[in-house]
Structure 1
Amino acid sequence: MNIDIFIGSYAEKGTDGIYCYTLDTASHQLKLIAKTNLVENPSYLTKSGDNGFIYCVSETNEFEGSEGGGVAVLNYEKEQFTLVDIAATKGSAPCHVLLDDNKNNLYVSNYSGGSIAMYHIEDQGKLQMCDYVLHYGCGPNKDRQEAPHVHFCGFIDGKVCAADLGIDAIKCYDVNANDNKLVHVQDIEIYKGTGVRHFIVSNKNRDLIFAVCELTSEIIVIKQNGENFEVIQRTSTLPEQSTESYAAAIKQSRNGKYILASNRGHDSIALYELMGEKLKLIKIIDSKGKYPRDFLILKDHVIVANQDSDNIAVFTFDENTGALDFTGQIEECKKPVCVIS
């Protein structure tokens, strides 16, 4: 069986930055079948289940002569990429993009800008900005939390929720049905100085949220009870007495039994089993490269993007037992930072 794997990367203007590989699940081999230089620094991608479009950020500090980055819509067909649309995000260093196929909305997280740019997807995939929300505040880490830094948007109980590393909070918004704008409803406070980066909602127990914190390399387990959120566990993604490291991605196996997180610096993947409402660390394995920023969990494989060693590593994965093993397969890829299928 072959599966298409799309990679986003850090790529200078005019150089290839989005790649499509096929994964042969029998041989565990990746084969490059397409690439494009249409977008500068396409560091994060998402794919529509409806029209097949690929949406990606252009993580820059300047876009078409103005301060900020960009967001692009690409069509991928017959191993060819074409640019459908590209628009300004009005905030610097956009680093994540969230798609709502049901409402035809797109949400971009501007890291340096500390803001969320919201777009409605018009006919033929054109983007129309319909809202822009700026965060305020700072955190105790003067080097990394001098201002808001929106790193990720996801859905919690139907709300658009933004993980802000700079202010140690997940800010939650309703989408007003009348004017299609974001309405702030509440904050989920995270421990000060932890630097919340990404989160996932458990697909096994929808009341559980797992948030990964970059600055302290921790996973925070949050339990939802109606409109209330309570932290019920915080656990390290690193072994004791480890070197300087920064947690990056967090993902869940399809059956909900296992949670994985990546460590940049320690260069590893931490594997946890969900035991009731708490996480139990099973093992921490070498990522087979440097600075693993993102990874993809498939039914029986895990694909790891190692940014600083310019490679993608292929692991086998058993979602029933948690067995996670390196296949020996490594594919060269320049500065890979996002993996989707």
Structure 2
Amino acid sequence: MGGLPGTDRGAAASYRVEGDRLRLLSCRETAGRVPCHQTESPDGRFLYVANYLSGSVSVFPVQSGVLGECIQLVEHTGSGPNADRQEAPHAHQCVFRPGTNELFVCDLGSDRVRIYDQDPETGLLSRGREIVMPAGMGPRHLVFADADRFYVTGELDNMVRRVVQRGGWKVDGALSTLPPDFSGGSTTAAIRLHDGALWVSNRGHDSLCRIDLDGEGRMLGASWIATGGRTPRDFAFAPAGLLVAHQDGGGVTASDGASMPMDGVVCVCPAP
């Protein structure tokens, strides 16, 4: 994903990995602005892109790794109480509920997780339900533990919430990602489930927050690890250990103490 040169219009691209190189296969406009996250359909035939600034979701057909033209643009409405960050809808992530054709979209601007039903034949989305989150939370990213439970980060309130399916989706627990004695500015970013614990990156506190879970997935308590750089926007658990991407200094750091100097790193994805 990225921008089209010389414009403010968003684009999605596909590449083929050839040895240690990438070959561009296709590039298509998203019809939205500032695309920030993407996910494939369960069968790999369609791609869904969250456009942050325009608050929309784009749908593309995929054939042999090549993107077709955008076949649907789903536009959100709404706002939140934070006048600086929630003046309009801001789609920040899209992810499929495990074992289903339901697409969950985190809308930071309207404090909602929106749920769409995907037609597996056409790839088109139809509005299903929405989960109203606490006002001013700013839901950024979520991660499913299973089909009936997920955890979602609040970029604006630095909280993680557990949401469960019990005759409808309900918030069932919340925990701060910051130490109680921290008073500086910070926002959450990435969230992962790994080795029976929940992990969240804090931009500002510049840490990873580890949240222990009980046997039912309830959040018990938190501990923190300094990441060794500024603004940890993303992280991943690779076979060799933990990798953290820092947006404002520090490049990519590893849990074994190694580092790779790079500027403006916003994502890290270990090769399969």
TM-score (norm 1): 0.75
Shift of 1:249: 0.4
Residue 268 (structure 2) aligns with: 339
Is contact 1:139-1:192 (8 Å) kept?
A: yes
Q: Which amino acid aligns with 1:170?
A: V
Residue 129 (structure 1) aligns with: 70
Is contact 2:31-2:70 (8 Å) kept?
A: no
Aligned pairs for 1:190-209 (under 5 A) are 190-202=133-145, 205-209=146-150
Residue 139 (structure 1) aligns with: 80
Residue 103 (structure 2) aligns with: 160
Shift of 1:152: 0.2
CA distance in 2, matches of 1:80, 1:247: 32
RMSD: 1.6
TM-score (norm 2): 0.93
Residue 176 (structure 2) aligns with: 236
Match among 109, 113, 120 for residue 170 of structure 1: 113
Shift of 1:108: 0.6
Shift of 1:162: 0.4
Tell which deviates more after alignment, 90-99 or 275-284.
275-284
Query: Unaligned stretches of 5+ in structure 1?
Result: 1-56, 316-326
**Taking structure 1 as reference, are residues 207 and 220 closer, same or farther at Cα in structure 2, changes over 3 Å only?**
same
Match among 239, 244, 251 for residue 192 of structure 2: 251
**Equivalenced residues, count:** 266
Identity %, equivalent residues: 30
Residue 210 (structure 2) aligns with: 271
Is contact 2:60-2:67 (8 Å) kept?
A: no
Asked if residue 290 in structure 1 is aligned to residue 219 in structure 2, the reply is no
Shift of 1:191: 0.5
Aligned pairs for 1:48-127 (under 5 A) are 57-58=1-2, 60=3, 63=4, 67-100=8-41, 102-123=43-64, 125-127=66-68
What SS is found at the alignment partner of 1:136? Answer: coil
Shift of 1:155: 1.3
Q: Which amino acid aligns with 1:241?
A: D
